[in-house]
């Protein structure tokens, strides 16, 4: 049998003597090498496979391994994609939260929910505000004190429509007293040749301090000690400050910042830089008439070329008005009481003021009006404005959205009102009807 596999379709097992059908015998590779052409595929009825190949789960080993590798790669990609997606989702959520809570326009009809976007202010923080123009856009600045006792500023950029914030005290500058009064003044371009913004406050020993910056952005530049800081002006503890920089372009007015403060003898004094901030040159507005620790509001009145100061007087515990002519700018001792500012007897003036703010307004008729707002000891807002030469009496401002329990207030000359309530600063716009205020939202106080 060495020359061929089978000679017939049947063969005999030499050991058992039984006939064996060759089609039922196993197929071995070595038999392929010895097979002859006379045996057809039909005769053998078998299909050879590669010797030694293994199958896993019904699949060739190589195919199975490739599938496993692809599956592992897909799982890894899914895990990585999920991690990246979760991170981006969290970041987008944080950005959306910040964007939602930033106050940038009058389109916010409701009070934003308190979040980390509004750093809480010192409980007894004072507030001051002012505005200026760069020739094209309006800028607003609001100054306040945080729980760290640092004086901070929030500045509104009309072009970007955003509030930017920064600390302006510290950095080897005099430290403000906790709960200090804050006042501010600005000289701006293009009305004047250069820009400068000043901020005033008390130190722990009630010394009057002046910080200034000449950065148009009011935040990007450095803050420095002003000349007033080197003078020995000392105020009554817990008393108030007021300041204004008269940006006038006519004679005899010459531009210089003016500061009002109450000295230890409880007299209200005024001084300005044209006097060299000399203590000997500071003048008493009214001796022993103003109430101790009175709030003070200072504003220009271009119509009569005057400065106007509003203070609380002892006799009636109400707001009274004092005036001083521009020509007395060098020697400003001629402050006089304006008897026409309401009648204390009939209660038409502002009673029990804890804080006073005043600004000039352009009336609907095109004329100028004086608008005075006070916060009384019951934390109620009251206002007065003159119509012609008369003061009709006090009103309660009509707020489009009420925010209660203000602890301090301020206004700027672009008809913006700011009030501190529950550790946040709320902003209103005073409309053409000054007794109607539109709520704008919460000023961002988070440092940027």
Same domain flag for 153 and 290: yes
The pLDDT assigned to 202 comes to 96
Average pLDDT for residues 102-110, to the nearest whole number?
A: 37
Looking at every residue in the chain, the average pLDDT score rounds to 75
Same domain flag for 75 and 137: no
Q: Which residue has the higher pLDDT, 278 or 298?
A: 298
Same domain flag for 191 and 269: yes
Same domain flag for 92 and 26: no
Residue 243 near residue 260 (C-beta atoms within 8 A): yes
Question: Does 63 fall in a domain?
Answer: yes
The pLDDT assigned to 430 comes to 96
- Which range in 5-9, 127-131, 219-223, 234-238 is most confidently predicted, on average pLDDT? 127-131
CA–CA separation, 27 and 429 (whole Å): 100
CA–CA separation, 335 and 330 (whole Å): 13
The pLDDT assigned to 413 comes to 94
Same domain flag for 282 and 418: yes
pLDDT bracket for residue 364 (50, 70, 90): confident
Question: Does 113 fall in a domain?
Answer: no
pLDDT bracket for residue 124 (50, 70, 90): very high
CA–CA separation, 142 and 445 (whole Å): 10
The pLDDT assigned to 28 comes to 38
Question: Does 311 fall in a domain?
Answer: yes
- Beta-carbon contacts of 211 under 8 Å, excluding residues fewer than 6 positions away, are 151, 168, 169, 173, 198, 199, 200, 223, 224, 225, 226, 229
Question: Does 114 fall in a domain?
Answer: no
CA–CA separation, 330 and 332 (whole Å): 6
Question: Does 390 fall in a domain?
Answer: yes
Listed residue (243, 19, 54, 88) closest to 11, CA to CA: 19
The pLDDT assigned to 402 comes to 87
CATH number of residue 392's parent domain: 2.120.10.70
Same domain flag for 312 and 438: yes
Same domain flag for 85 and 162: no
Same domain flag for 211 and 335: yes
pLDDT in tens, 367-399: 788 999 999 888 889 998 887 777 877 888 999
Q: Which residue has the higher pLDDT, 220 or 268?
A: 268
- Indicate if the pLDDT at residue 353 is higher than 80: yes
Residue 174 near residue 225 (C-beta atoms within 8 A): yes
Question: Does 116 fall in a domain?
Answer: no
Residue 183 near residue 198 (C-beta atoms within 8 A): no
Question: Does 108 fall in a domain?
Answer: no
Average pLDDT for residues 325-335, to the nearest whole number?
A: 58
Q: Which residue has the higher pLDDT, 208 or 41?
A: 208
Question: How many folded domains does the chain comprise?
Answer: 3
Same domain flag for 76 and 172: no
Q: Which residue has the higher pLDDT, 95 or 441?
A: 441
**What residue numbers bound the domain in which 19 lies?**
1-37
Element (H, E) at 34: helix 29-34
Q: Which residue has the higher pLDDT, 55 or 308?
A: 308
Average pLDDT for residues 129-149, to the nearest whole number?
A: 90
- Indicate if the pLDDT at residue 301 is higher than 90: no
Average pLDDT for residues 185-189, to the nearest whole number?
A: 83
- Beta-carbon contacts of 437 under 8 Å, excluding residues fewer than 6 positions away, are 397, 398, 399, 400, 417, 428, 429, 430, 431
Q: Which residue has the higher pLDDT, 262 or 45?
A: 262
Same domain flag for 212 and 297: yes
The pLDDT assigned to 58 comes to 65
- Indicate if the pLDDT at residue 215 is higher than 50: yes
- Indicate if the pLDDT at residue 199 is higher than 90: yes
The pLDDT assigned to 54 comes to 58
The pLDDT assigned to 249 comes to 53
Question: Does 427 fall in a domain?
Answer: yes
DSSP secondary structure letter of residue 184: E
CA–CA separation, 255 and 248 (whole Å): 6
Q: Which residue has the higher pLDDT, 68 or 185?
A: 185
Phi-psi region of 75 (alpha: psi -120 to 50; beta: other; left: phi over 0): alpha
Average pLDDT for residues 11-21, to the nearest whole number?
A: 46
Residue 412 near residue 359 (C-beta atoms within 8 A): yes
Q: Which residue has the higher pLDDT, 189 or 108?
A: 189
Same domain flag for 395 and 274: yes
The pLDDT assigned to 112 comes to 37
Same domain flag for 91 and 205: no
First-to-final CA distance of the chain: 99
């Amino acid at each position: 049998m060495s020359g061929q596999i089978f000679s017939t379709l049947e063969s005999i097992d030499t050991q058992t003597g039984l006939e064996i059908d060759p089609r039922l015998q196993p197929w071995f590779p070595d038999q392929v090498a010895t097979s002859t052409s006379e045996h057809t595929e039909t005769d053998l009825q078998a299909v050879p496979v590669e010797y030694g190949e293994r199958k896993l789960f019904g699949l060739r080993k190589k195919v199975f391994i490739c599938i496993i590798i692809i599956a592992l790669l897909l799982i890894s990609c899914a895990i990585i994609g999920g991690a990246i997606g979760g991170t981006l989702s969290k970041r987008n959520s944080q950005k959306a939260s910040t964007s939602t809570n930033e106050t940038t326009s009058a389109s916010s009809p409701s009070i934003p929910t308190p979040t980390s976007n509004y750093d809480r202010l010192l409980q007894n923080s004072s507030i001051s505000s002012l505005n200026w123009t760069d020739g094209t856009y309006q800028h607003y600045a609001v100054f306040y004190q945080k729980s760290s006792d640092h004086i901070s500023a929030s500045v509104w950029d009309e072009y970007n429509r955003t509030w930017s914030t920064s600390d302006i005290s510290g950095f080897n500058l005099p430290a403000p007293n906790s709960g200090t009064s804050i006042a501010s003044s600005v000289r701006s371009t293009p009305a004047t040749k250069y820009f400068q913004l000043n901020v005033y406050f008390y130190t722990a020993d009630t010394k009057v301090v002046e910080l200034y910056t000449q950065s148009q952005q009011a935040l990007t530049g450095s803050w420095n000690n002003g000349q007033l800081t080197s003078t020995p002006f000392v105020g009554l503890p817990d008393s108030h400050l007021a300041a204004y920089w008269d940006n006038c372009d006519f004679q005899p007015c010459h531009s210089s910042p003016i500061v009002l403060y109450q000295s230890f003898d409880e007299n209200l004094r005024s001084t300005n830089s044209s006097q060299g901030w000399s203590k000997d040159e500071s003048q008493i507005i009214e001796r022993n008439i103003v109430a101790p620790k009175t709030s003070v509001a200072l504003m220009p009145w271009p119509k009569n070329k005057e400065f106007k100061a509003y203070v609380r007087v002892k006799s009636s515990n109400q707001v009274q008005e004092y005036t001083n002519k521009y020509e007395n700018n060098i020697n400003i001792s001629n402050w006089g009481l304006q008897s026409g500012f309401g009648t204390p007897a009939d209660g038409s003036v502002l009673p029990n003021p804890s804080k006073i703010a005043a600004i000039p307004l352009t009336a609907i008729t095109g004329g100028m009006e004086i608008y005075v707002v006070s916060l009384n000891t019951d934390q109620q807002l009251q206002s007065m404005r003159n119509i012609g030469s008369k003061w009709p009496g006090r009103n309660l401002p009509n707020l489009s959205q009420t925010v209660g329990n203000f602890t301090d207030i301020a206004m700027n000359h672009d008809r913006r009102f700011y009030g501190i309530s529950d550790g946040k600063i709320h902003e209103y716009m005073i409309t053409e009807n000054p007794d109607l205020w539109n709520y704008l939202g919460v000023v961002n106080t988070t440092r940027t």
